[in-house]
Amino acid sequence: MAATRRPGRNHLFIPGPTNIPERVLRAMHVPSEDHRSPSFPELVKPLLQDSKMVFGSTNGTVILFPSSGTGIWESALSNTLCRGDKVLTARYGQFSHLWVDMAQRLGLDVIVQDEEWGAGADPQKIEEALRADKDHAIKAVMVVHNETATGVTSDIGAVRKAIDAAGHPALLFVDGISSIGSLPFYMDDWKVDCAIAGSQKGFMLPAGLGLICISPKALKIAEGGTGRNDRLGHAYFAWKDQLAANATGYFPYTPVLPLLYGLREALAIVKEEGLENVYHRHHVLGEATRQAVAAWGLKPCAKEPKWNSDTVTAIVVPEGADAAKVITHAYERYNLSLGAGLSKVAGKVFRIGHLGDLNELSLLGAIAGAEMAMLDCGIKVTPGSGVAAASSYLRENPLHKA
């Protein structure tokens, strides 16, 4: 009789949702409660303050929406911009593409700087476009910090410098969905106006909680500071309703209670590890993955080392091989979930997500599984080479600085 049970754990190495720590799972195991009770603000108020740390902000205001990250994109655009406003963005992967698509569908006039998939936002081109915009028609610059589809991280500090060098007042919106909580993110220093995050990546929670940190400048515009009256429509995603309810520790509608308890525990975990340690750990695990890729004789999708992401590596399979087959085989044979290639890179890459709650040995499990799956699918990598390279690197480079 064929066994229906799959022994052991699924090795989840997609770039989100990520593995949920046991502590967070337990914290979410709560009975329903009255979200209008007198004690509810004791849960909510600290969350709104404490989550700012992960954004690198003390000046910002956090709102927690019952939504995935995509909804938070929409909230950033719809609360600050007017119909027909110009926005400037760079597109270099599926998620930066989808943000363009949303902005267009909402009725914005989107200036797109297309970059090769495998590269990131070009601060110089952004500066040039802003310098050319003499009458300041561009109202916002939108950048995906970590393009999860290609494993590329853009330099947001450099984008900020470009905006300042051009002397341009545009808002800066950053999608940090696969970076915030894993990669260094300094919202206040970079003067980011809307930083967008989702619960299912660095926050180590299930999907369903969208987080946005809003600068005082963006809040003022949302409150009607420019006097414009042709705002993009919004209702469910209105910041105003959230802020009014949050001021007393409540929400304008029914919150996702288990996720709030989970967030409280996840933030406690991040505090215990220390954000700088979290960033360092992600760097070490990212580099170990890249060492494995090099030992296999393969290349990451990221075109230059400066674009390498420490949360996800997209690995290009050799010409003629099908990355989708590797992913299916890894799942069926080894119970390993690898990330699929999306859109333009479908079939050409598979992705190893190395973000969230993981350590050396969990990563090595994914590298071993990817190696075995590639070999089974006829991709000629040297057996054991990726594991050997990654493990040597990991032995020499502790996850945390002493």
Is position 113 an interface residue for ligand PLP (rule: CB under 6 A)? no
Distance of alpha carbon 213 from alpha carbon 37, whole angstroms: 26
Distance of alpha carbon 285 from alpha carbon 311, whole angstroms: 8
Residue 315 or 374 with smaller CB distance to ligand PLP: 315
Distance of alpha carbon 149 from alpha carbon 311, whole angstroms: 11
CB of 321 to ligand PLP, least distance (A): 25
Choose, by CB under 6 A, the member of 13, 16, 77, 393 that binds ligand PLP: 16
Q: In the structure encoding, which two tokens stand for residue 378, read together?
A: 């006829």
Residue 69 or 262 with smaller CB distance to ligand PLP: 69
Is position 89 an interface residue for ligand PLP (rule: CB under 6 A)? no
CB of 116 to ligand PLP, least distance (A): 17
CB of 392 to ligand PLP, least distance (A): 30
CB of 177 to ligand PLP, least distance (A): 4
CB of 218 to ligand PLP, least distance (A): 19
| Cβ neighbours for 277, distance < 8 A, ≥ 6 positions apart | 399, 400, 401
- Kindly calculate the radius of gyration of the chain based on its CA atoms and give it in whole angstroms: 21
Is position 127 an interface residue for ligand PLP (rule: CB under 6 A)? no
Strand boundaries in 92-204, DSSP class E = 109-114, 138-144, 146-147, 152-153, 171-175, 194-198
Choose, by CB under 6 A, the member of 177, 183, 195, 298 that binds ligand PLP: 177
Is position 175 an interface residue for ligand PLP (rule: CB under 6 A)? yes
Is position 238 an interface residue for ligand PLP (rule: CB under 6 A)? no
User: Measuring CA to CA, which residue among 226, 252, 201, 248 is closest to residue 140?
Assistant: 226
Is position 154 an interface residue for ligand PLP (rule: CB under 6 A)? no
Angle at 96 (CA atoms; ends 95, 100), nearest 5 degrees: 115
CB of 223 to ligand PLP, least distance (A): 26
Distance of alpha carbon 30 from alpha carbon 262, whole angstroms: 10
Q: Are 187 and 57 in contact (CB under 8 A)?
A: yes
Is position 138 an interface residue for ligand PLP (rule: CB under 6 A)? no
Residue 175 or 193 with smaller CB distance to ligand PLP: 175
Q: Are 286 and 15 in contact (CB under 8 A)?
A: no
CB of 148 to ligand PLP, least distance (A): 3
**Which residues form the interface with ligand PLP (CB under 6 A)?**
16, 68-70, 95, 144, 146, 148, 175, 177-178, 198, 207
